[in-house]
Structure 1
Amino acid sequence: MPNRPMLATAAALAAAAALVLPTAAVAENSARAGAVAVQDHLQELQNIAGANGGNRAAGTPGYQASLDYIKGKLDEAGFTTAVQEFDSLGGPTYNLIAETPGGDANKVVMFGAHLDSVGEGPGINDNGTGSAAILQAALDYAAGGETPTNKLRFAFWGAEEEGLVGSTHYVETLPEAERGKIAAYLNFDMVGSPNAGYFTYDGDDSDGVGAGPGPEGSAQIEKLLNDSLGAAGAPAEGTDFDGRSDYGPFIEVGIPAGGTFTGAEETKSPEQAEKWGGQAGEAFDACYHQACDTVENVDAQALERNFAAIANAVKTYAAQFPQP
């Protein structure tokens, strides 16, 4: 594994935040503090897995405890939460949906991540990182005390690892009129890979990587995320809407989508290693779907950069829809 930067302590971050800093430095400091909080959530998810047979797979006590932990945080912050039951693997499991009390209910922007792990391990990068990052972005937004112009909805999907079961159930059972109110869906699945790449879903097909562009509006999502990652020193590459994560059911019904991804079992090229650092010829995440996908399998810098992009997207879409 490549060397990974050490996380700053919460005390040091709090002291730094007390200084009067230029706007860019304040934003950077805020992102770092948020990433530390994300790491705390990841440790809690690992503890949950450790207490429940080593995993947080759909339909297991570890999954239920993970959902209860996140729901408790969102309830405390004032979100309206709902648990949606569906069947998977012959038994019940659940999605968790949380939304801001305020905001235009006819203009909904969704942020989603799957909460379940595979049965082989605790699933901290896949996908504790995405779940913890959107959780903390939601908590930080709520702490700011603003009422959004557009309603924000955060989804924590169950049974993604069984074939996108939770997100598919949500989209297919949502009345057509309610689907029409979802203006955008942003998906975050693995945002802290230890040999990280920096990928955004190719909404405008400018990278020509496969399936073509996403529904109209996807290009704006891609640009917003690209700009955030570029500003953090991580120029992004486009990746295909290949149907491997929970954006799939949304683009199938014409909802604009996007998101970030730091790579799974695929191999990092020499060109990518030159651009992003890390080890060429090795997987982005050598612990993908294995027992070693623990908190030690998360790159702090990749997590911080992606969290900053997620938090910026939450704030941006709360206020307005980005222009082409």
Structure 2
Amino acid sequence: MILSARSRAAAVLAVAALLGPVATQAAAQPAATPVTALAAPDIPVSSVKAHLTQLQSIATANGGNRAHGRPGYLASVNYLRAKLDAAGFTTSLQTFTASGATGYNLIADWPGGDPSQVLMAGAHLDSTTSGPGINDNGTGSAAVLETALAVSRAQLKPEKHLRFGWWGAEELGLLGSRAYVNSLSTAQRATFAGYLNFDMIGSPNPGYFVYDDDPAIEKTFKDYYAGLGVPTEPDRVGDGRSDHASFKNAGIPVGGLFTGAGERKTAAQAQKWGGASGQSFDRCYHSSCDTTANVNDTALDRNSDALAHAVWTLGAPTVR
């Protein structure tokens, strides 16, 4: 029997009157607890800097650099891979050839997540031949590593499949990331929900630049910094100069962070961010003085936490 709307309403009121406040309270409760995003953990800057100390030691023991084709680069890869293997990641090395030498990309997959929705965070691991490359790009590499280790410590169960990557031969023209993207089939490229890039995120005279590519990724970073009360600017200088370009050119949504390279900080930027107006964001860019002394701890700390926030938010791990 189908009751009229008026009859149904009367029946509901009659039952409520019989059951009293219990029914009223039950009716007010939602059918299920809303799904909310898990908050990302704080990434201790001391842990990120400990990785930078190791990368500095590797460079010092191998001719002062960690460049493509040099022993310091492969030693850097092996250091990261050992950490990731111990943390439960599935790691693999992709090889390619550049300038007559073998290059290496390190890929680390966290078990679980939807394989048709891959969220990847990455950074180039190589330096130039002129120095140890601690800001460029030990900072990005170390922050991505420590975020991956935080995923393991949390035993995170995200909805998306999380992948992390460290690229070789970026300093020779994005060669490692390009080799990786070129190795993907059309179907594999279509599984990427996004790629997040972190190249130079601890510059000693830092700016706070957010890639203005994919709107959702950009908003995630900008909202995070707005919550800190730190203004940001779109990264227009770095567009196409780092590994996100390899993914962007393949139609994959990209985003990322950057604290500046050899360009000079303007007076307006110094007013809102502090630091020295008229001086380079990184005076040791591609130089021998790009050591562990060439890092701004506050910028590195903020960007490492922003990285983790993006992985947790965009990876959509949830709790009921």
What TM-score bracket applies, with the shorter chain setting the length? Answer: 0.7 to 0.9
Percent identity, aligned pairs only, is 54
CA distance in 2, matches of 1:198, 1:223: 14
Task: Report 1:39-50 matches (<5 A).
Answer: 39-50=49-60
Match of 1:4 in 2: none
Which secondary structure state, in structure 1, belongs to the residue aligned with residue 302 of structure 2?
helix
Match of 1:297 in 2: 294
Which secondary structure state, in structure 2, belongs to the residue aligned with residue 187 of structure 1?
strand
- Residue segments in structure 1 that go unaligned for 5+ positions in a row: 1-26, 204-217
Match of 1:153 in 2: 163
Query: Which of 276, 280, 286 is the aligned partner of 2:277?
Result: 280
* Aligned residue type for 2:253: P
Which secondary structure state, in structure 1, belongs to the residue aligned with residue 293 of structure 2?
helix
CA distance in 2, matches of 1:191, 1:234: 15
After superposition, the C-alpha distances for 1:222-267 in whole angstroms (9 at most, x for unaligned) are 1101111222332110012621000111111111101000000000
Indicate whether 1:262 and 2:262 are aligned: no
Match of 1:239 in 2: 235
After superposition, the C-alpha distances for 1:80-115 in whole angstroms (9 at most, x for unaligned) are 100000001111110000011111111000101000
After superposition, the C-alpha distances for 1:98-151 in whole angstroms (9 at most, x for unaligned) are 011111111000101000000000000000000000100010111001222100
* Aligned residue type for 2:263: E
Match of 2:193 in 1: 183
Query: Which of 268, 288, 300 is the aligned partner of 1:271?
Result: 268
The answer on whether the counterparts of 1:187 and 1:247 sit within 8 Å (CA) in structure 2 is: yes
Indicate whether 1:56 and 2:66 are aligned: yes
Indicate whether 1:99 and 2:109 are aligned: yes
The answer on whether the counterparts of 1:265 and 1:285 sit within 8 Å (CA) in structure 2 is: yes
Indicate whether 1:195 and 2:205 are aligned: yes
Which secondary structure state, in structure 2, belongs to the residue aligned with residue 42 of structure 1?
helix
* Aligned residue type for 1:268: K
- Residue segments in structure 2 that go unaligned for 5+ positions in a row: 1-38
* Aligned residue type for 1:317: L
TM, length-normalised to structure 2: 0.85
Indicate whether 1:223 and 2:204 are aligned: no
* Aligned residue type for 2:75: A
Match of 1:140 in 2: 150
Match of 2:7 in 1: none
**What is the root-mean-square deviation in Å for CA atoms of aligned residues?**
1.4
CA distance in 1, matches of 2:125, 2:90: 18
Task: Report 1:105-120 matches (<5 A).
Answer: 105-120=115-130
Measured after TM superposition, the shift of residue 320 of structure 1 is 6.0
The answer on whether the counterparts of 2:262 and 2:281 sit within 8 Å (CA) in structure 1 is: yes
* Aligned residue type for 2:217: I
Match of 1:309 in 2: 306
The answer on whether the counterparts of 1:112 and 1:187 sit within 8 Å (CA) in structure 2 is: yes
CA distance in 1, matches of 2:225, 2:77: 29
Q: What is the aligned residue count?
A: 279
Could you list the structure 1 runs, at least 4 aligned residues long, displaced by more than 3 angstroms after superposition. none
The answer on whether the counterparts of 1:191 and 1:261 sit within 8 Å (CA) in structure 2 is: yes
The answer on whether the counterparts of 2:158 and 2:317 sit within 8 Å (CA) in structure 1 is: no
Measured after TM superposition, the shift of residue 310 of structure 1 is 0.2
Which secondary structure state, in structure 2, belongs to the residue aligned with residue 92 of structure 1?
strand
Max radius of gyration: which structure? 2
Which secondary structure state, in structure 2, belongs to the residue aligned with residue 295 of structure 1?
coil
Indicate whether 1:318 and 2:315 are aligned: yes
CA distance in 2, matches of 1:230, 1:287: 29
The answer on whether the counterparts of 1:141 and 1:314 sit within 8 Å (CA) in structure 2 is: no
